[in-house]
Amino acid sequence: MFKLEADKEKKQYESQLAVGSWRTRFGRLSNKVGEVDPTGTFCAVPDEWLKKKLVEAAEPPTARQLYSIFFVNAVPFVAFGFLDNFIMIMAGEYIESTLGHFITVSTMAAAGLGNTISDIMGITMATYVEEGCQMLGLKQPRMTPAQFELKSSKRTSSWGRIIGITAGCLIGMCPLWVMSEESKNKAED
């Protein structure tokens, strides 16, 4: 019965379709009626399979595009790393010097509280960092979504973030130079 209905449906739509073949529910070609959808319709191709095929067929990005991906991902993380470390050090030092007079606060506890303040500030400043990067004109290169899904693009993006946050954190340690100078001057007096 299903075969009869399926043949009838097929005849009706055969002239409208680009291909006169049957597909399974996973989108593969089939000759057997038992494997096809009983309604005789063409079923959708699974999204994951289609995405995988598009990525496999994508043209690899050029070296210039990869450099652009690296740079666009590194710059915001330099800013975030700087702000994170700078605020953490300054807040931790302030907490230790002010609260340390009233209650006993270890250096690690002050650093932990400074890190909490730094994390809160990082969350609130994330939008400002992103807006600043847009004002600088940082934009992703013109590539297809499939090119962004390639391993080379993802690796380049990750390395940009890693190097950016590392550089930002190292630059954000600059208050330590000033603090060590102040402590040397106090020790000499």
Please state the pTM of the whole predicted model: 0.64
CB 157 within 8 A of CB 69: yes
Q: What is the pLDDT, as a whole number, of residue 100?
A: 78
Measure the CA–CA gap between 147 and 28, rounded to whole angstroms. 26
Q: Which residue has the higher pLDDT, 94 or 183?
A: 94
Q: Which residue has the higher pLDDT, 170 or 57?
A: 170
In this structure, of 17-21, 87-91, 97-101, 104-108, the range with the lowest mean pLDDT score is 17-21
CB 150 within 8 A of CB 58: yes
Q: What is the pLDDT, as a whole number, of residue 89?
A: 92
pLDDT at 22 over 80: no
CB 40 within 8 A of CB 10: yes
Per residue in 172-183, pLDDT (tens digit) is 999 888 876 666
Give 152's contacts (C-beta < 8 A, 6+ positions apart).
Answer: 60, 61, 66
Kindly write down the DSSP assignment for every residue of 4-30, as one continuous string.
Answer: HHHHHHHHHHHTTSS---EEBTTS-EE
Q: How far is CA 9 from the centre of its chain?
A: 46
Per residue in 119-165, pLDDT (tens digit) is 999 899 988 988 888 888 888 888 888 788 888 899 999 999 999 99
